[in-house]
C-alpha cells in the first residue's frame, strides 16, 4: 500500500466548492472487470481526514477501487459551503447526484456514517440507479421513511453498526433491514463511530462485502 498516494482536490457543486481526498488504484489489466468507485461520506464531528488516517482510502485503492472521501458542506475543509437544507434533515437527492456526476462516479458505492444519512438516504430511495452498493453506518434520518419505500430498493447493502451505539445503532438497523438485499455487520464492543473503534473488523467486513458485488 505504500506506493498508493492520497491526492487532494475540490469539485464545484451547485456553485459551491467541496473538498475531497482521493486514492486511485494502479491500472488493472484490460481483461479485468473494473470495480465500482467508492464515495466515503462522514459524520458531524469528522471529515475526509478520518478515512485517510484510518487507512480506508489506501485499502480500497489497493483492492482496485477508486476511493474518494468528501468533506460535506459546512464541515472539514468544505466549511465555507452551505448545506442544501437544514442540518439533520433529508437533503434534496439531486445534491449528492450532482456530486457523483461531477466526479464521474455514477454508479458508486456510498459509505454513509451518521449525519451523512441526510444526503445518502434521499439518493438511495429516489435515484437508486446511481448507487452500485450502499454501506450505511448508523446514519440519521432512517426513521423519516416508511418500510415500503425501503422495500422497493434492490441496491446491495451492508448495514454496519456498533453494539454499544445506544443512539442510532438499533434504530437504523430496524429501519434499514427493510431493504431486501442487505446483510449486517454488527461490531462487538464498538460505539457510534464503530469503524474508529475497530478498524480491522471494519476493513475486513467492508472489503468482504465489496468482493461479493457483481
Catalytic residue positions, numbered: 114, 165, 192
Alpha-carbon span 62 to 170, nearest angstrom = 32
Picking from 170, 180, 109, 110, the residue whose alpha carbon sits closest to that of residue 143 is 170
Element (H, E) at 187: strand 182-187
What is the rounded distance in angstroms from the CA atom of residue 90 to the CA atom of residue 92?
A: 7
Label the pairing between strands 182-187 and 157-162.
parallel
Longest Cα–Cα distance in the chain: 47
Q: In Å, how far are 60, 115, 180, 198 from 41, measured between CA atoms? A: 14, 9, 23, 18
Going by the DSSP 8-state scheme, the letter that residue 130 receives in this structure is G
Single out the residue of 112, 74, 70, 120 nearest to residue 93, CA to CA: 120
Where is 186: in which H helix or E strand?
strand 182-187
Write phi, then psi, for 136 (nearest 5 degrees).
-80, 135
**Residue 99 near residue 39, CB atoms below 8 Å:** yes
Amino acid at each position: 500500500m505504500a506506493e498508493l498516494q492520497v491526492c487532494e482536490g475540490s469539485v464545484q457543486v451547485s456553485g459551491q466548492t467541496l473538498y475531497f481526498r482521493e486514492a486511485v488504484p494502479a491500472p488493472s489489466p484490460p481483461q479485468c472487470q473494473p470495480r465500482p468507485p467508492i464515495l466515503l461520506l462522514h459524520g458531524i464531528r469528522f471529515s475526509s481526514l478520518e478515512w485517510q488516517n484510518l487507512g480506508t482510502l489506501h485499502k480500497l485503492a489497493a483492492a482496485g477501487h477508486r476511493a474518494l472521501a468528501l468533506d460535506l458542506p459546512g464541515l472539514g475543509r468544505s466549511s465555507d459551503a452551505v448545506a442544501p437544507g437544514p442540518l439533520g434533515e433529508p437533503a434534496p437527492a439531486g445534491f449528492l447526484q450532482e456530486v457523483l456526476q461531477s466526479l464521474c462516479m455514477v454508479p458508486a458505492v456510498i459509505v454513509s456514517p451518521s449525519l451523512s444519512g441526510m444526503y445518502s438516504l434521499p439518493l438511495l430511495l429516489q435515484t437508486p440507479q446511481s448507487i452500485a452498493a450502499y454501506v450505511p453506518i448508523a446514519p440519521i434520518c432512517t426513521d423519516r421513511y416508511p418500510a415500503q419505500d425501503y422495500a422497493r430498493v434492490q441496491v446491495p447493502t451492508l448495514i454496519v453498526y456498533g453494539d454499544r451505539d445506544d443512539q442510532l445503532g438499533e434504530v437504523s438497523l430496524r429501519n434499514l433491514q427493510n431493504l431486501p438485499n442487505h446483510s449486517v455487520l454488527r461490531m462487538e464492543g464498538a460505539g457510534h463511530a464503530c469503524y474508529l473503534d475497530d478498524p480491522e473488523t471494519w476493513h475486513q467486513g467492508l472489503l468482504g462485502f465489496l468482493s461479493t458485488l457483481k
